[in-house]
Amino acid sequence: MNLLNLFPSRSRLSLLGAGFAVLVFGGIPSYAAPGAHGPNGEHLDAPAQAGANSGPVPSFEARSEAFELVGRLQGGELSILINRFATNEPVLNATVEVETGNLKAPAKFHADMGDYAIDDANMLKTLAAPGDHPMVITVLAGNDSDLLDGTLTVAGAVLDDHGHSHDDGHAHGPSRTVWLALALVVLAAVGWFFGRTPKAAGTPSKGGAL
């Protein structure tokens, strides 16, 4: 049975358009651009939310009289950008160490990106768990050294190095099949309504014309 045959011809195009809109706007996720920050003179800001599928990127900030830093857990590493607090000058080629709980690991400097990265598997596994992770970052840059405290908050799944999110429930949004089924139900209901209305309007009254 073709459901479109239930509709008056003038209504079919608009109903098909409405059904397509349900599928497109309901089944396709939206994306938001991440916040930009870097070691080029601007103050560091925590990164904004990632795409709707991934949720917010776990991040933290820390400041002291000497340094300020921002870190984010994404892409299979903990990446940290460090500036001098007073001048916003990027801190390059420093010795950086991160401690959380009973774990401690050095952060490797990436000259191409100007950041420091933790790739220690045990620490990354610990930090990827949902919850608050207090951290102590030791920075030794030339004659200056300092300890900075920060807390990494992980709300849910963390993106791996392939950009995929993983969590315990492996939750995903409604599939296209679900959206299609809902659209067909709506179209069938509207078709039933329009299919019966003309008959009711055209039925003569029992008394007839005098």
153 shares its domain with 109: yes
- Of 33-37, 66-70, 100-104, 201-205, the least confident: 33-37
Give the closest residue to 83 by CA, choosing from 39, 18, 113.
39
Residue type, 39: P
Q: Are residues 136 and 189 in the same domain?
A: no
Q: What total number of domains does the chain contain?
A: 2
Residues 190 and 124 in one domain: no
The answer to whether residue 34 is domain-embedded is no
CA–CA separation, 87 and 70 (whole Å): 16
C-alpha closest to that of 114 among 83, 147, 74 = 83
Q: Is 146 left (phi over 0), alpha (psi -120 to 50) or beta?
A: beta
Same domain, 7 and 69: no
Per-residue pLDDT reduced to its tens digit, 2-30 = 544 554 554 554 554 555 444 444 444 43
Q: What does the pLDDT read at residue 175?
A: 60
Q: Are residues 161 and 88 in the same domain?
A: yes
Domain of 192?
3-29+173-201
**Same domain flag for 8 and 97:** no
Check residue 52 and give its pLDDT. Answer: 38
Query: What CATH number is associated with residue 65?
Result: 2.60.40.2480
Per-residue pLDDT, 171 = 46
Give the chain's mean pLDDT.
73
Nearest to 105 by CA among 91, 90, 121: 121
Are 122 and 149 within one domain?
yes
The alpha carbon of residue 200 and the mean position of all alpha carbons in its chain are separated, in whole angstroms, by 51
- Report pLDDT digits (tens) over 168-203: 444 445 566 666 677 777 777 666 666 665 554 455
